[in-house]
């Protein structure tokens, strides 16, 4: 009997959702040309990259302890980009 690694599957689903959000926000940016949306696109892109790394590590190495600092820095970058995007006029 093969057990499915639920955490890896969830990480993959989150990655797909993040990629979908990147696509939608980029298409919206192309239509509106708002600089605020450019920061949102960047934040969603960074989030998708982070989730992609988590998915790869989850399926290949089954642990992401070595990525801890990189993931924390990416989280900070995501929050910063959303913050700047909210403040832009």
Output the pLDDT for position 27: 92
User: Per-residue pLDDT for 34 more than 60?
Assistant: yes
Alpha-carbon span 27 to 41, nearest angstrom: 9
* Within-domain flag for 11: no
* Domain of 68, in residue numbers: 19-87
The domain tally of the chain equals 1
Output the pLDDT for position 68: 72
* Within-domain flag for 82: yes
* Within-domain flag for 8: no
Q: Is the pTM of this model over 0.85?
A: no
Mean of per-residue pLDDT scores for the chain: 81
* Within-domain flag for 9: no
* Within-domain flag for 81: yes
* Contact predicate 39/84, CB 8 Å: yes
* Within-domain flag for 13: no
- Say which residues have a Cβ less than 8 Å from residue 38's Cβ, sequence separation at least 6: 29, 85
Q: Pick from 48, 77, 73, 54: which is nearest to 8 by CA?
A: 54
* Within-domain flag for 6: no
């Amino acid at each position: 009997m093969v057990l499915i690694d639920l955490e890896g599957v969830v990480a993959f689903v989150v990655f797909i959702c993040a990629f979908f959000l990147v696509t939608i926000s980029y298409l919206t940016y192309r239509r509106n040309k708002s600089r605020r949306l450019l920061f949102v696109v960047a934040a969603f892109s960074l989030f998708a990259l982070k989730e992609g790394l988590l998915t790869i590590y989850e399926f290949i190495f089954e642990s992401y302890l070595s990525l801890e600092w990189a993931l924390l820095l990416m989280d900070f970058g995501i929050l910063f980009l959303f913050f700047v995007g909210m403040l832009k006029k």
